[in-house]
Amino acid sequence: MIFPWQTGLWKQLRERQASQPHALLIHGPAGIGKLALAEHHAQSLLCEAEDAGRAPCGECDGCRWFVAGSHPDFRRVEPESLARRPEETEDSEEPAASPGKRVKPSTEIKVDQVRALDGFLNLKSHRGGRRVALVHPAEAMNPNAANALLKGLEEPPPGAYFLLVSHRPARLLATIRSRCVAVPVPAPDPGVSAAWLAQQGAKSADQWLAFAAGAPLMALQYAQGSGEALARLREALQAGDREALGAVNDREQLEALAEVLQKHALDVAFASFCGQSRFGEAKPSGNAAAWLRYARKAGRNRVLARHPLNPRLFAGEMLGGMPEE
């Protein structure tokens, strides 16, 4: 099922499919519904109704199996941290975890996951139609996985289709991008997003939509509870409470702090250069260039925050580098 703001995009996607490209790269900002659009398209490719060229019927065997997550001609390739049904393979390259030891799911798409597509794509379709592989997010592939996928894109088997969903297509290999038909997905109109969030009963929808840079799905997650830590950090930042800002105990809080600091720094820079903030409210500064440099560093810190660092020490380092107002 696609979202209300994706009707026009769906029509464009179907028009592009008329030329029968074997690979599509659906890209745009996170939190705008690209995955839902790709899934809807995958279902349409596997729909067995006579008029499936318009939209999936939802009633044929192909559609029912797809919705149930058991279609034999569809494969989803995602990091373990996002997988809906994590599976353990006996031939995994990773050593088995010791009893009682909790292993954090990987955030990468590994080469074994991509290589597993070879047998699926090169065999005859179970239903006598197409075979579809969806990779999400494509930039999560490690270098070996990306190179393995490239081989499939260069010589795709007959009837095989690749749907790549990416938040940051610039991180993909140029050779992968060149073998896909790009489908850019922009953020929806703010009015449409606000109306949809109101229908979902989201609280403080306007504030969260701004903080999510216009991404309605991300704004809904924030409004429904995942933004509580962000809200506390933003309040502490507005109050100038460095002690509360630095009181982080784990990597999730550390990443939230890096996000809040980055967006605040960008807002200060935007307010200084063009007189208007983007993610919230901020006052102009005479030191705008320093804030912009700090925002870039905070973006790198958001990635570093996912690694096993000492949260308190790293938080102190981020706060200590903040420019003077």
Q: What is the pLDDT of residue 87?
A: 44
pTM for the full predicted model:
0.85
Kindly state which CATH superfamily the domain 4-184 is placed in: P-loop containing nucleotide triphosphate hydrolases (3.40.50.300)
Q: Distance (Å, rounded) from C-alpha 293 to C-alpha 315? A: 18
Q: What is the pLDDT of residue 104?
A: 73
Q: Average pLDDT per run of 10 along the chain, which is 325 residues long?
A: 90 79 94 95 90 78 94 95 56 46 78 93 82 96 96 91 96 96 94 95 92 95 87 91 89 90 95 90 91 94 85 93 86
Q: Distance (Å, rounded) from C-alpha 123 to C-alpha 298? A: 47
Amino acid (1-letter code) at residue 33? G
Q: What is the pLDDT of residue 95?
A: 46
The ranges of the chain annotated as CATH 3.40.50.300 are 4-184
Q: Distance (Å, rounded) from C-alpha 325 to C-alpha 316? A: 18
